[in-house]
């Protein structure tokens, strides 16, 4: 049987797996629905276990397939959700700007990442529900930025309802991961070139030795 056309085998240049984590009710599912389907609803049922959606984007001339996993925030699902950390290439840490406890728990979520995710996983901090009235805000923007700076990660405030910065968040982490993957590929290619050059030098050296040995016989 003939192999399928290359385009049919892979209609993307990079496959990037992302994970949304954070307390229950911070709007992770709403962010995912807004980004993947361009829609918003207030009638979401709390995520049970884990869910995912796919969206392919164009970024810097490359087609990137984003596989985005939405995790349950409740403690009773923690064993299930942490099993998905290892395969994640990027993690969005989401809190609700009107819920200080969800912000304070970000440190706990980061500890989970450190325990279960790859060492080189990209992270981004997201303060959701930024459309809410300032009188309801419990976490100032400066506080979110300070926490992000502490961990050396990017920070965005978003609103799934108004679509504020939703595209920007996903494109930002996708671009950082793509760059990391490209750098890794480049380093591997350079190592291959260096190894090939070294093998060539050894072969030349061996050939010369053989020639010298032949001339003395």
**Of 39, 86, 94, nearest in space to 70 by CA:** 94
Instruction: Indicate the domain borders of the chain.
Output: 10-181
The CA distance from 100 to 182, in Å, is 38
* Phi, psi for 123 (deg, rounded to 5): -130, 150
Which residues of the chain are under the pLDDT cut of 70?
1-10, 43-49, 73-81, 185-217
pLDDT of residue 84: 82
Grouping H, G, I as helix, E, B as strand and the rest as coil, residue 41 is: coil
The CA distance from 111 to 191, in Å, is 34
pLDDT of residue 191: 45
pLDDT of residue 143: 99
**pLDDT tens digits, one per residue of 145-197:** 999 999 999 999 999 999 999 999 999 999 999 999 988 765 544 444 445 55
Grouping H, G, I as helix, E, B as strand and the rest as coil, residue 26 is: coil
C-alpha distances (whole Å) from 26 to each of 59, 133, 163, 168, 210 are 28, 16, 15, 18, 72
pLDDT of residue 132: 97
Is the pTM here over 0.85, yes or no?
A: no
pLDDT of residue 54: 95
Which distant-in-sequence residues (6+ apart) come within 8 Å of 88 by Cβ? Answer: 17, 18, 19, 69, 117, 118, 121
pLDDT of residue 83: 77
CATH 3.50.50.60 given to domain 10-181: no
């Amino acid at each position: 049987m003939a192999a399928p056309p290359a385009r049919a085998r892979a209609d993307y240049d990079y496959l990037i797996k992302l994970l949304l984590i954070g307390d229950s009710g911070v709007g992770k599912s709403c962010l995912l629905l807004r980004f993947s389907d361009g829609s918003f609803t207030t009638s979401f049922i709390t995520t049970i276990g884990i869910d995912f959606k796919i969206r392919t984007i164009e970024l810097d001339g490359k087609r990137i397939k984003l596989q985005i996993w939405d995790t349950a925030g409740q403690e009773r699902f923690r064993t299930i959700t942490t099993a998905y950390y290892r395969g994640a290439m990027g993690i969005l840490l989401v809190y609700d700007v009107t819920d200080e406890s969800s912000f304070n728990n970000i440190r706990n979520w980061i500890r989970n990442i450190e325990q279960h995710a790859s060492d080189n996983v990209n992270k981004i901090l997201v303060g959701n529900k930024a459309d809410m009235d300032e009188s309801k805000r419990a976490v100032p923007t400066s506080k979110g930025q300070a926490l992000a700076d502490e961990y050396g990660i990017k920070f965005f405030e978003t609103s799934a309802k108004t679509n504020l910065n939703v595209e920007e968040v996903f494109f930002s982490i996708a671009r950082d991961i793509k760059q990391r993957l490209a750098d890794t590929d480049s380093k591997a290619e350079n190592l291959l070139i260096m190894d090939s050059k070294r093998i060539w030098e050894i072969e030349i050296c061996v050939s010369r030795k053989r020639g010298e040995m032949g001339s003395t016989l």
